[in-house]
Amino acid sequence: MSKRWFERCFQLLICGLAVCVVAVMGWVLIDVIIQGLGHFSWQFLVTAPIDAGRAGGIGPIVVSTLLILIIALTVALPLGLAVAVWLAEFAARSSRFARISGVVLDVLAGVPSIVFGLFGNAFFCVYLGLGYSLLAGGLTLACMILPIFTRTCEIGLRAVSQDWRRGTAALGMTKASAVWHVLLPAARPAVLAGMVLGIGRATAETAALLFTSGYVDRMPGSVLDSGRALAVHIFDLSMNVTGGDGAAYASALVLVVLIIILNILAQQLTDRWLQQHSRA
């Protein structure tokens, strides 16, 4: 009798805790959705902020965020792909340099985001003289995305069956064309998933952008101008602007929707890759 009771209690406790967690998370999300919808409108997405952001919208901020993302991706994607290809295809397994690079990537992935902000400020803004600019922010984010993207690509490439490589060798293809025409396309879902994850991480980033991209909330004229990213805007509205909570929640809604879309995309791509992989 008491055995059943014990089992029931345990199950209740465990599932109860899980439900609590889901409830609190749900509270946060529902809050964001309800409060955000109250202030949101399609105009909100395109007009400029008025009165420090209390009124108006987030148009220039969305543009700044996109520009920072484009810069970060333009730098991180080719570099990350190159390193992944080298590690997976060209480096000898026993090469010390390959092992060091692997460790370096892991270490880079662990650096806290605020420390990237410090580095970005000291290196891009001061040393290279870019000042507070979208370019400095984008480059800093590129440093942050690089390890994750490289790792994901490398895993994707390594997972491609050796049969494919033997096939390309049998056909007399150079390694270069093997990589370009056969291996990378085979690892495509992993590469795309890595890219989407990188974008997700970059969009959520605030601390690193605080002192590299600056605070200016106007439409940036060029990449050397300072601009405010969406996450930074939410931060400023909630901390510094009285009556800015409504706009903060609306911006948070936009950000959350973006992240959810990106995450779902990443999930689909990873699932597709796993499916492909198990077939081959």
Q: Which of residues 39-78 bind other proteins (CB under 8 A)?
A: 52, 67, 70-71, 73-74, 77-78
Strand-pair partners of 49: 56
Kindly identify the residues of this chain, within the stretch 233-252, that bind other proteins according to CB under 8 A.
Answer: 234-235, 238-243, 245, 248-249, 252
Strand-pair partners of 55: 50
d(CA 138, CA 223): 9
Choose, by CB under 8 A, the member of 58, 61, 136, 223 that binds other proteins. Answer: 223
The two three-digit tokens of residue 168, written as one number: 């390309």
Kindly identify the residues of this chain, within the stretch 176-205, that bind other proteins according to CB under 8 A.
Answer: 176-177, 179-180, 184-185, 188, 193-194, 197, 200, 203-205
Kindly identify the residues of this chain, within the stretch 96-135, that bind other proteins according to CB under 8 A.
Answer: 97, 100-102, 104-119, 121-123, 127, 131-132
Nearest residue to 149 via CA among 72, 96, 208 = 72
171 binds other proteins per the rule CB under 8 A: no
At its nearest, how many Å lie between other proteins and the CB of residue 130?
A: 11
At its nearest, how many Å lie between other proteins and the CB of residue 225?
A: 7
| 154: Cβ contacts below 8 Å, ≥ 6 apart | 83, 84, 87, 88
At its nearest, how many Å lie between other proteins and the CB of residue 184?
A: 7
At its nearest, how many Å lie between other proteins and the CB of residue 112?
A: 3
Alpha helix ranges (H) inside the chain: 2-39, 42-46, 59-85, 96-110, 113-120, 134-159, 162-170, 175-178, 184-186, 188-204, 207-210, 230-240, 245-279
At its nearest, how many Å lie between other proteins and the CB of residue 57?
A: 17
269 binds other proteins per the rule CB under 8 A: no
276 binds other proteins per the rule CB under 8 A: no
d(CA 33, CA 257): 9
Strand-pair partners of 56: 49
Based on its alpha-carbon atoms, the radius of gyration of the chain, rounded to whole angstroms, reads 23
Q: Segment contacting other proteins (CB under 8 A): 23-31, 38-46, 272-280? A: 23-31
At its nearest, how many Å lie between other proteins and the CB of residue 279?
A: 18
Q: Segment contacting other proteins (CB under 8 A): 37-45, 208-216, 272-280? A: 208-216
Q: How many residues bind other proteins (CB under 8 A)?
A: 121
d(CA 210, CA 101): 29
